[in-house]
Amino acid sequence: MGMTIVEKILARATGNKSVKPGDVLEPAVDVAMSHENAALVINQFDEVFKGTGIEPKIWDPSKIAIIFDHRVPAESSKTATNQKKIRNFVKKFGITKFHDIRSDRGGICHQILAENGYVKPGDVVVGTDSHTTTHGAFGAFAFGIGATEMASVWSLGTVLNVEVPETIKVVVNGKLRDNVYPKDLILYIIGKLSAKGANFKVIEFHGEAIRNMPMSGRLVLSNMSVEAGATAGIIPGDEETELYLRVEGVHNSITPVLPDEDAKYCQVLEIDANAFEPQIACPHTVDNVKPISEVKDVKVDQIVIGSCTNGRLDDLEIAAEILKGKKVAEDTRMLIFPASWEIYKMAMHQGLLNTFTEAGAIIMNPGCGCCLGIHQGAIGDGEVALSTTNRNFKGRMGNPKGDVYLCSPAVAAMSAVTGFITAPTKGVN
Amino acid sequence: MGKVVYIFGNDISTDAIYPGRYMATVLPTETPQFCFADYTELNKKLNSKEYPVGSVLIGGNNFGCGSSREQAASTILGHGIVVIAKDYARIFLQNAINLGLNLITCPDIEADLDDEVEVVGDKVVNKTKGKEFSTIPLPAARMVIVEAGGLVAYTRKKVIAKYAK
């Protein structure tokens, strides 16, 4: 019987000819990523070896990536101490894919993995972050795990007792409308599937709109697949994947893993890319998605552009085009977090940062903090945030008495100018 | 047996269980204080030990959705309370299993505040209502981790076997 992409990857990673949903496997890991929660992983890793008489040993330090991004620079002595503990561990065990708080290699973990070419088609990638799904954009099987599970991976190099998931095939036909972006597409899909619609399953993305989408957009789709509950969101590798990885300096051979023609899917969802306008995820669940024309008279106190979802160069370019020569509305504040320092510097060279500061926006340093309400950019009681980030749960942006709406960078920039949630209009400039 | 002390709706996120702003606190022994921190009354009663071990929280669908933070499992474990929900998000469920927190999956659960509820074998018995509800057991592959006493103990055995070779 034919296999889906995840089935093929898991067959390869376990040395099997074929696997099927429900099989219990122990796949070998190609990339194991953590951020500041490596502090807890280290704790659990030490626990594993405790009392065994065996010197703690990492299976392969070259396959571990650790990136500081959640609270950078540290907001408290506690975080700083955790970061110090991780640095010492990195040195002791010779972990090379380490990205400290530095403007020459830092940024948000998922962007760092992408722009350093750490993930290739067919890889098994685990990360102690739910948005590890991002790397499915490279045709890898990438999924989030907890800290104790990561300690197990560090010890053994495999993930224990993985059940092969079923796959939902999402086919996106046609072309997105003007002013409609990959973020709108994934919000639309999450609205259709619901927040638990893909729980324990993998989404495979196919269709003309996906094949014509640059990597930056594919990363958005895979990134937010987890908001429909998906274990992973995989996009078949193609010329675009290879081109992206070559530009990022990958010299090794790149072989896309493609599904068999007779692969078995538990569900097929066909989407007409031209059928919808910009989408908004309204408070307080990501599947509470509405077309922007139905979201009326929402005044916005804080606009945020950034995160592992939408802080890439093209996101900033789209925002800058809208903001050029304009001002952020008087009663609104705007925060921009480039997803990495690489992007920050490119935006600086292109003059985008000038456009933002002339408009009155604040340029923040790359990091996750604002998205999950742990480091800068908290909202006040009764305030409304409109954000290009990935979650709008109650309390997410640091305050359970505030509302978070999610949108594309174009909607965020347009709304910054008007002060209300506003659809972008081409030609408005 | 325990009393139902709180009833949640669907899609309770790990941000609700353990708000992000406390994520710098990582050690399982230190996380219980922030359990449901934004549910001020619930958090207060948990921390003042007003709810005895075995008290029950009822959840809807997709309990534990969102972030992979393991604190969301360790914070509940630390209070010795029982969670019975219709179903769970994947990472949260796996984290709970890995730490030895036994989450009960009961798709048809009916319970009101203060009902006396007991898990008996593969059933949830609501003694107050005089009704029984079937539970969905963990798959065998996950059950072995629970039976080993959590993933640390399970992995330790594998590590010993690996280096003994």
Q: Where are the domains of chain A?
A: 5-271, 279-418
Query: Looking at chain A, which residue has its C-alpha nearest residue B86?
Result: A196
Closest in A40, A47, A54 to B152, CB measured: A47
Residues B108, A199: Cα–Cα separation, whole Å = 18
Output the pLDDT for position A1: 83
Kindly tell me the burial class for residue A171, based on how many C-beta atoms sit within 10 Å of its own C-beta (0-12, 13-18, 19 or more): middle
The C-alpha of B127 sits at a distance from chain A's nearest C-alpha, in angstroms, of 31
Residue A387: pLDDT band with limits 50, 70, 90: very high
Residue B91 counted as domain residue: yes
Cβ atoms of A397 and A404 closer than 8 Å: yes
Averaged over A308-324, what is the pLDDT?
Answer: 98
* CB spacing of A70 vs B65 below 8 angstroms: no
Residues B91, B75: Cα–Cα separation, whole Å = 15
Share of chain B above pLDDT 70, in %: 99
Q: Does domain A279-418 have CATH number 3.30.499.10?
A: yes
Q: Which of B25, B159, B162, B165 best probes binding to A when mutated, by most A CB atoms within 10 angstroms?
A: B159
Could you give the number of structural domains in chain B?
Answer: 1
Mean pLDDT of chain B: 96
Averaged over A248-253, what is the pLDDT?
Answer: 92
Residue B125 counted as domain residue: yes
Residue B144 counted as domain residue: no
Kindly tell me the burial class for residue B126, based on how many C-beta atoms sit within 10 Å of its own C-beta (0-12, 13-18, 19 or more): buried
Query: Which stretch of A111-120, A405-414, B20-29 has the lowest confidence by average pLDDT?
Result: B20-29
Output the pLDDT for position A142: 98
Query: Looking at chain B, which residue has its C-alpha nearest residue A285?
Result: B11
The answer on pLDDT for A429 being more than 50 is no
Q: CATH code for A5-271? A: 3.30.499.10
Complex ipTM: 0.97
Averaged over A312-341, what is the pLDDT?
Answer: 98
* CB spacing of A374 vs B26 below 8 angstroms: no
The answer on pLDDT for A427 being more than 90 is no
Closest in A43, A130, A163 to B66, CB measured: A130
Mean pLDDT of chain A: 97
* CB spacing of A129 vs B13 below 8 angstroms: no
Output the pLDDT for position A428: 42
The C-alpha of A58 sits at a distance from chain B's nearest C-alpha, in angstroms, of 11
* CB spacing of A54 vs B73 below 8 angstroms: no
Query: Looking at chain B, which residue has its C-alpha nearest residue A127?
Result: B68
- CATH code assigned at B65: 3.20.19.10
Closest in A78, A156, A373 to B162, CB measured: A156
Output the pLDDT for position B1: 80
Residue B42 counted as domain residue: yes
Residue B155 counted as domain residue: no
Query: Looking at chain B, which residue has its C-alpha nearest residue A47?
Result: B152
Neighbours of B71 (CB within 10 A): 30
Tens digits of per-residue pLDDT, A122-149? Answer: 999 999 999 999 999 999 999 999 999 9
The answer on pLDDT for A57 being more than 50 is yes
User: What domain range is B111 assigned to?
Assistant: 2-137
Averaged over B100-111, what is the pLDDT?
Answer: 96
Share of chain A above pLDDT 90, in %: 98
Provide the number of CB pairs (under 8 Å) joining chain A to chain B.
157
Neighbours of B120 (CB within 10 A): 10
Q: B155: which chain A residues are within 8 Å (Cβ-Cβ)? A: 48, 151-152, 155-156, 160
Output the pLDDT for position A64: 98
Residue B69 counted as domain residue: yes
Residues B3, B126: Cα–Cα separation, whole Å = 10
- State both tokens at A45: 């890793």
Q: Which residues contact B93 (CB under 8 A, 6 or more apart)?
A: B64, B103
Output the pLDDT for position B165: 67
Tens digits of per-residue pLDDT, B126-163? Answer: 999 999 999 999 999 999 999 999 999 999 999 999 99
Q: Give the strand pairing for A362-363 and A384-387.
A: unpaired
Q: Which of A14, A57, A129, A130 best probes binding to B when mutated, by most B CB atoms within 10 angstroms?
A: A130
Global confidence as pTM: 0.97
Averaged over B43-49, what is the pLDDT?
Answer: 97
Residue B164 counted as domain residue: no
The answer on pLDDT for A323 being more than 80 is yes
Residue B36 counted as domain residue: yes
Tens digits of per-residue pLDDT, A2-17? Answer: 999 999 999 999 999 9
Tens digits of per-residue pLDDT, B62-76? Answer: 999 999 999 999 999
